[in-house]
Amino acid sequence: MGEHFPDTEGVGSSILPAPTMKELSAVRVDIKKRRHVHDRPPTPVLGSGRLSRVEIFLSTEEIEVLRHSSAHILAQAVKELYPKALLAIGPAIPEGFYYDFDFDRPFTPEDLHAIEKRMAEIVKRNLPIVRKELLRIDAIRLFKEKGEDYKLELIAGFPDETFSVYEQGDFVDLCRGPHLRYTGKAKAFKLLSIAGAYWRGDEKNKMLQRVYGTAFLNKDELKAHLDKLDEAKKRDHRKLGKELDLFSINDEAGGGLVLWHPKGARIRKAIEDFWRDEHYKAGYELVFTPHVARLDLWKQSGHWDFYRENMYSPMDVEGVEYELKPMNCPFHIMIYNSSMKSYRDLPIRLAELGTVYRFERSGVLHGLMRVRGFTQDDAHIYCTREQLGSEIDRVIEFVLYILRTFGFSEFEAYLSTMPEKFVGEPAVWDEATEALKEGLERHNLSYKVDEGGGAFYGPKIDLKIKDSIGRSWQCSTIQVDFNLPEKFDVNYIGEDSKRHRPIMIHRALMGSLERFFGVLIEHYAGAFPTWLSPVQALVMTITDKQIAYADGVLDKLRKAGIRAELDKRNEKIGYKIREAQMQKVPYMLVVGEKEMENEGVAVRKRSAEDIGFMDMDGFVAMIKEESMRKG
């Protein structure tokens, strides 16, 4: 699949169209004049109640400046409390900020509390934040006197002859800005965590301590964000994965390698069965390809040149170098090229749940969200230029159908266009970009344009999904490729009996099966809809007298294709029900003397709703119908 690398975490963002260049230029000029956002003039509110594109831009600038200034207040607090700590860098990031420090001992939770308290004192002082321009020699002298070696390294890395610094009281930091005018403007902040981070992201460099925080324009927004973080902790797929016995990652097997437990495997099978069935219905052919190939194949495809850092070291097989596959694309091309194709054969759609392997640094591994071995729901479509628009329409429609079936209804789309360096003809690029654009618009998807953000081989659409607590996750991607068909001499015989080059579309609907599963866990907080639940019905006995009958109930359920289990422990029924609710089982079937006599079950839902007595045929029909409609 092209260059689709799953993100580590979701970031919320607006899906209104970006401001025009004229609008942005006017805003940026105004910001440069003021340099401080707290004194900006009020922006108009549109009659519809929605923010204008310029307002959203200003709001984004404002919050970024606030968070950047909060990072400086954090750094000042650390220097006041721990003068020997060295400063590295401290930018604003989506939903917060961080600062990296070099300190001779690990920061503790008690340190974090003390730092946050000192930050509040600095805010209360309402110190002016003053920008100054220094000549290179003066900037070097300043930070040499302060013993700030990381700042000196940063200065050495830039060719500038002047550098800007920002002062607030006795604290000074190298920074381009802009910042707030006074520290007193940063009143709604919270420190969140401490993590390790290599200087400049290079594991060959020293490990620093990164302090994360967040800041908002007011305390209500901060509280809402912290509540969202608390909810996210409860939904953490790593925590729920352990509690619900879905998966594990064991260092003895290797970091970033997922072990699917029986219950997780049941969910995976339900996902894969649905995926395969829908692909056959949509006109795809399913294929299977090896996990390794000769290194020469990856050199020919260009992956060895462009993705070497994400590939493992080659292995020697009888004197020939082989490589674990990071992508499925070359194999699908080889299947296409195994016989000559006619224009009458196109479009050809090849799909695979293909497991790929990519080298990720241990510091970025994160549960199911960033792993080293994962399964892509990959597909490659080979079509003529005339078929491109209709194929893109089909893919967008397919993407939305699949994602909506899994319970997602809000999407953010991004259209990435031709970069400075590209392959193919500009006219074909324009056709492909217009086809992607028209497809988005026909499906009423608001989108942002990422000018020049396409891959060198073609434009693309990236689609993010929003989960039940409003977080965005990179998911689907649709990429048009003019490059690989050239590299592998992919052809078809046209109506004119001449060879022509097809256009290749890469697409993934879920992206990574592992990552998508992690998102599903958090989206549903582990309470999966019935069709996905690893245990759809749990049969439970009141006394040992019902065990034989309960075994028969279990057998009937399983023969009907229902994922069911039996709890025949010698425990009180109330305890069994509470445990089943903790395991988020959709249906609990209580079997006592009455149920056994009347050949049925007493049905309870995990929501505590008591449905009451049902005969077996009635319950089987109900749960099968619910599963079939994906409810």
Catalytically active residues are: 329, 358, 376, 378, 380, 460, 506
Cβ contacts of 449 within 8 Å, gap of 6 or more: 17, 18, 414, 415, 417
**Residue whose C-alpha is closest to residue 584's, from 251, 244, 353:** 244
Task: Calculate Rg over the CA atoms of the chain.
Answer: 29
DSSP state of 214: E
CB-count burial class (<10 Å; 0-12, 13-18, 19+) for 631:
exposed
* 481: amino acid identity, one letter: D
Angle, nearest 10°, between helix axes 513-524 and 219-235?
120
Q: Is 306 helix (H, G, I), strand (E, B) or coil?
A: helix
Closest CA to 43 of 21, 19, 67, 66: 19
Residue 19 DSSP one-character state: P
* DSSP run (H or E) holding 228: helix 219-235
- Please tell me the number of Cα atoms within 13 Å of 417 on its side-chain side: 14
Measured distance CA(351)–CA(446) in Å, rounded? 28
Helix (H) or strand (E) holding 153: helix 149-156
What are the angstrom distances between the C-alpha of 403 and each of 274, 408, 443? 12, 6, 14
**Torsion sign (Cα): 5, 335, 337, 305:** positive
Nearest Cα to Cα of residue 350 among 330, 323, 373: 330
Burial (Cβ within 10 Å: 0-12, 13-18, ≥19) of residue 43: middle
User: Per residue, what are the HEC states of 494-553?
Assistant: CCCCCEECCEEEEEEEEEEHHHHHHHHHHHHCCCCCCCCCCCCEEEEECCHHHHHHHHHH
Q: How far apart are CA 99 and CA 213, in angstroms?
A: 9
**CB atoms < 10 A from the CB of 508, how many?**
25
**Which contiguous run of DSSP H or E holds residue 197?**
strand 188-198
CB contact at 8 A, 173 and 166: yes
Task: Give CA 462 to chain center in angstroms.
Answer: 12
C-alpha 434 chain-centroid distance = 27
Q: First CA to last CA across the chain, in angstroms?
A: 31
Q: Which residues contact 161 (CB under 8 A, 6 or more apart)?
A: 135, 136
User: What gap in Å lies between CA 372 and CA 63, rounded to an integer?
Assistant: 35
CA distances from 547 to 567, 571, 600, 604, 613 (A): 9, 13, 14, 19, 18
Between the alpha carbon of residue 239 and those of residues 186, 246, 250, the distances in Å are 34, 10, 15
